[in-house]
């Protein structure tokens, strides 16, 4: 989801400008031999939701509630990628993860409208219950 203009394209209405993103590279943990000990391929992206100019107040409020467990005290959200040995690919993956996370969080669910069961369906259910009850009553009488 990285955008050619230097930001992360979240959806058709929202682009996170790269000027609002703080990227840090560090040494990744895990397998990789000597390579992992000498290169900083792990990428961490931090984006502050509270100070972002890209968000509307409604979007900011929605993100604050939906991502409450992932947002730090200062309003920052952090995404990390250390999947590959390449710093560039890890940066792409971290940007993609951040974009997908924000896009999923901004989807507004449609309100569920309560529907009534049709009268015919209700009568059919009651008729079936009555038949079942009669069958069981007849069994008791027969014994």
- pLDDT at residue 11, rounded to an integer: 83
Per-residue model confidence as pLDDT tens for the chain (143 residues): 555 457 888 888 788 888 888 888 887 776 666 766 677 788 899 998 888 888 888 888 888 888 888 888 988 899 988 888 888 898 899 989 998 988 888 888 889 998 999 999 999 999 999 999 999 998 887 66
- Give the model's pLDDT for residue 134: 93
Q: Domain 2-106 falls in which CATH fold?
A: Double Stranded RNA Binding Domain (3.30.160)
Where are the chain's structural domains? 2-106
Residue ranges of alpha helices (H) inside the chain are 34-38, 57-66, 87-106, 119-142
SS3 138: helix
Q: What is the helix (H) or strand (E) element at residue 32, kind and residue range?
A: none
Cα–Cα distance between 18 and 25 in angstroms, integer?
Answer: 16
């Amino acid at each position: 989801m990285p955008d050619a203009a230097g930001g992360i394209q979240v959806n058709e209405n929202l682009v996170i400008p790269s000027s609002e993103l703080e990227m840090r590279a560090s040494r990744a943990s895990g397998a990789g031999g000597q390579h992992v000990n000498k290169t900083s391929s792990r990428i961490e992206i931090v984006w502050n939701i509270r100070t972002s100019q890209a968000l509307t107040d409604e979007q900011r409020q929605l993100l604050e509630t939906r991502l409450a467990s992932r947002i730090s005290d200062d309003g920052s959200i952090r995404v990390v990628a250390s999947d590959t040995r390449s710093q560039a690919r890890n940066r792409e993956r971290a940007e993609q993860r951040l974009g997908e996370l924000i896009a999923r969080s901004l989807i507004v669910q449609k309100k569920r409208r309560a529907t009534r069961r049709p009268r015919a369906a209700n009568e059919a259910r009651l008729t079936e219950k009555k038949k079942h009850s009669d069958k069981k009553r007849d069994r008791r009488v027969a014994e």
